Chain A
Amino acid sequence: MELNACIPDGPLEQKWEKHQFDLKLVNPNNKRNYRILIVGSGLAGGAAAASLAELGYDVACFCYQDSPRRAHSIAAQGGINAAKNYRNDSDSIFRLFYDTVKGGDFRAREANVYRLAQVSNNIIDQCVAQGVPFAREYGGLLDNRSFGGAQVSRTFYARGQTGQQLLLGAYQALERQIGLGQVKMYTRHEMQELILVDGVAKGIVTRDLVTGEIQSHVGDAVILATGGYGNVMYLATYAKGCNTSAIWRAYKKGAAFGNPCYTQIHPTCIPVTGDHQSKLTLMSESLRNDGRIWVPAKHGDQRAPDQIPENERDYYLERKYPSYGNLAPRDISSRAAKQVCDDGRGVGGTGLGVYLDFADATKRLGARKIEERYGNLFEMYERITGEDPYKVPMRIYPATHYTMGGLWVDYNLMSTIPGLFVMGEANFSDHGANRLGASALMQGLADGYFVIPYTLGGYLAGIKPSARPKVDHPSVKEAEESVKARVSRFLSIGGKETPTHFHRELGKILWEYCGMARNEAGLKKALQLIPELREEFWKNLRIPGSGAEVNQTLELAGRVADFMELGELMCLDALERRESCGGHFREEWQTPDGEAVRDDEHFCHVAAWEYTGDGKTPTRHVEPLSFENTHLAVRSYK
């Protein structure tokens, strides 16, 4: 397998413009003869479907929810970055580029990140024009805030619902095209297989989640925008339906999987209360702007928080990282919380939690100001925990939140399978080993609105219009049959346990051995436990009902089956990456005071895994990364 990133040459600032010019164009009259299949209607998929339809392509878009508006992008709270420099605080495209590369611990491609920073400004303009109600100043101009520890105020936001508003903007543009007949929308359809004809992506097989019908759809290009796979951990901040199935099938058909072990654990989530827990809820990072994080200084201190005097508290982030304090980046804050809890100083019923305290801020700013800033978040916290954060400190704990890994793509967002493009969180991303706050929304929309409309055209210009296979082509039939066989296999196991049971068990293994901190022994243990669990899964699964109706147990089983395989690849990747970088922390590679140690000499590359058959160890390919416009510095937030 060859990994050709197709990075245009020339100076960094001119690469994208030059590339756009070099890409071949599709004749406007021909566009409608190309059918594009887009899986996913989140920020990336929704934006792409609308934009490509506006250009005149014949678009079909798929999502598993009942409406494209419900894609998981809707849950993003904090905001979206752009290099507008509206605050005159010395922001620039180059600074956003630099911060993103550095934040990603120098494991991202410079050219991609620079393009991302360049188009970030167009995104804001586009969204404003769509009617996204971004926060405004009294003078009527757009408001910005500093987010996720950035030193400049470049984050645009719409209350605590930025993702929702951006998604609704894309959704409305998409609905307009649906109304005009340019997009055919397939809701409650799940992609189950990718169709290749002579090694080129030409279609997908879906299951209609209402009727159970297995259908093939053929097109001239396939775009996956199916979001992240963090639900592999079972407990995560993702929506329950988020899955890896689409990209996993593509991986098994030959698309390389980039950096599967890079997961982001977000420091401020509501802690687990018990085994019944079905998901974790994120509390916006903005809380860290005013809240102070602490645990009791003594082990096993059971006193109520207000009974613990100031000098017996450990404000560990402020202590360890005096200049960033409570705003230290996500990976660092998360790991620090784990350390104090592992140390036996965690709070709450399970001992897995730390305090996020607003007492000082309330004294300083007054309760009214606090309510103004965080009222809705406090209310949400109160709803979930039954505790009033105006009176007692919040309890928080880290949870899986984002996956930087995903299908490997080149500069054109094309995977190693010709004709298969991957966008948004589903690709291995521009965020390197760690994503900065408010950058995922930016990347999803950049990919969908401003990259794919150009690069896809470049691909399509090279193939004949309407050259797609017929639905009765042998390759199509074969893919369809394999999906049917899989469904019957699930239904015929007739064991005892539910898919949720297996999912929970898988999550425990991964959280323990491939979570916030990893080591060789643990990863090897996981690599032994996961196949055992998988075997048990295929023997002892029980799915009531049939495949020819709504069957949510069957849907879940399919997703869990894929997670079982992905989990193993994550551990393998984590094992092979013998360094600590960003979200990937190997205990063997740390300084005496617990800071990550990168190994640029051996690991300054993307790891891209090639599937070689069931039961066989996949092949690890590398795409070397070079840093010409930034220096490979040690990321320090001291």
Chain B
Amino acid sequence: MPASQPNALTAGNRAAPFLDSSVGRKVVMAATGTILFGFVTVHMLGNLQAYLGAQVMNHYAEFLRGLLHGGGIWISRAVLLAAVGLHGWAALSLTLANQAARPVSYRAQTYQASTWASRSMRWTGVTLGVFIVYHLLHLTTGQAHPHFIPGDVYRNFVTGFQVPAASVFYIVAQLCLGFHLWHGVWSLTQTFGLAHPRYDPLRRFFAYGIAVLVAGVNISFPIAVLTGIIH
């Protein structure tokens, strides 16, 4: 194309609407990612009560279900569902665009700055998606749980993890979660434009720390059950 071509704007287009633009969809990803990240952190803290015994944990579960006369949980479910849906949609559309942007790949590709975590976001993300479905069938509705007792969250939790295959899948999924958050939490600050050299090292450290903490604590649950610490 030796001669210059008119650009998209002179060709009659106006600037694209928010969701059509790549950064717009990135922002959707970051916003939903923040919700999901907030949820998993709080969820992890809530689950820590498993170490305090059946009573505390079941009490907590009941408390949650009673919030706003039972409406709270539905509100949060709706928000989470929307977040996962939008997050997955944005991830899919951007991933497709990114793959199309490099039709021929390099013979000798070497990476300098990106991490395994950043390059595998779509795979760790998909694994998380699968995990969420399984997890709901497992601990919330019970279809995937061999010994499900409705209402006894603690029991379900213990008997669920006593199945080694289930525990292994949980552990794998939590590792994915760790990697996803490791890059994701840093990435979302960048997407929101929260950059300043003074705080940049902190940003990296925060993402890394959160990833290790959430994944670490979550992995401890199946291990604690399998080793009999929680029973």
Contact = CB atoms under 8 A, between A and B. Distances in A.
Interface stretch (B1-9, B38-46, B50-58): B1-9
Given A179-B9, A179-B10, A184 B2 contact: no
B3 A185 contact: yes
20 contacts: A178-B4, A179-B6, A179-B7, A179-B9, A179-B10, A180-B10, A181-B6, A184-B3, A184-B4, A185-B4, A186-B2, A186-B3, A187-B2, A187-B3, A187-B4, A188-B2, A189-B2, A209-B2, A210-B2, A211-B2
Nearest to A206: B2
A430 interface: no
B215 to A, nearest CB: 42
A208 interface: yes
Contacts of B6: 179, 181
Contacts of A187: 2-4
A335 to B, nearest CB: 44
Interface in B1-47: 2-4, 6-7, 9-10
A70 B10 CA distance: 24
Nearest to A180: B10
B12 to A, nearest CB: 12
B13 to A, nearest CB: 12
Candidate in B2, B7, B9 with the most chain A CB atoms within 10 angstroms = B2
Contacts of B7: 179
B4 to A, nearest CB: 4
Contacts of B3: 184-187
Given A178-B4, A184-B4, 16 more contacts: A179-B6, A179-B9, A179-B10, A181-B6, A181-B10, A185-B3, A185-B4, A186-B2, A186-B3, A186-B4, A187-B2, A188-B2, A189-B2, A208-B2, A209-B2, A211-B2
Interface of A: 178-181, 184-189, 208-211
B143 to A, nearest CB: 58
Contacts of A210: 2
A187 B1 CA distance: 9
Contacts of B9: 179
Contacts, number: 24
Contacts of A186: 2-4
Interface string B93-127: 00000000000000000000000000000000000
A209 to B, nearest CB: 7
Bin chain B's interface residue count.
under 10
Contacts of B2: 186-189, 208-211
A188 B1 CA distance: 9
A174 to B, nearest CB: 10
A184 B1 CA distance: 13
A211 B3 CA distance: 12
Contacts of B4: 178, 184-187
Contacts of B10: 179-181
Contacts of A185: 3-4
Nearest to A178: B4
A181 B7 CA distance: 10
Nearest to B9: A179
A443 to B, nearest CB: 27
A447 B220 CA distance: 74
A189 B6 CA distance: 18
Contacts of A184: 3-4
Contacts of A208: 2
Contacts of A178: 4
Candidate in A179, A188, A210, A211 with the most chain B CB atoms within 10 angstroms = A179
Contacts of A188: 2
A318 to B, nearest CB: 43
Contacts of A179: 6-7, 9-10
Interface in B148-202: none
A186 B2 CA distance: 6
A471 to B, nearest CB: 16
A185 B7 CA distance: 13
B15 to A, nearest CB: 13
Lowest 10 CB-CB distances: which A-B pairs, in order?
A185-B4, A188-B2, A178-B4, A210-B2, A186-B3, A179-B7, A179-B10, A208-B2, A187-B2, A181-B10
Nearest to A188: B2
A185 B4 CA distance: 5
A636 B9 CA distance: 58
B27 to A, nearest CB: 26
A184 B4 CA distance: 7
Nearest to A174: B4
A474 B209 CA distance: 77
Nearest to A183: B4
A209 B7 CA distance: 23
Candidate in B4, B6, B9 with the most chain A CB atoms within 10 angstroms = B4
A186 B3 CA distance: 4
Contacts of A180: 10
Nearest to A210: B2
Nearest to A187: B2
Candidate in B3, B6, B10 with the most chain A CB atoms within 10 angstroms = B3
Contacts of A181: 6, 10
Interface string B58-91: 0000000000000000000000000000000000
B182 to A, nearest CB: 34
A408 B107 CA distance: 53
B18 to A, nearest CB: 23
Nearest to B3: A186
A179 B2 CA distance: 15
A153 B38 CA distance: 58
B11 to A, nearest CB: 10
Nearest to A186: B3
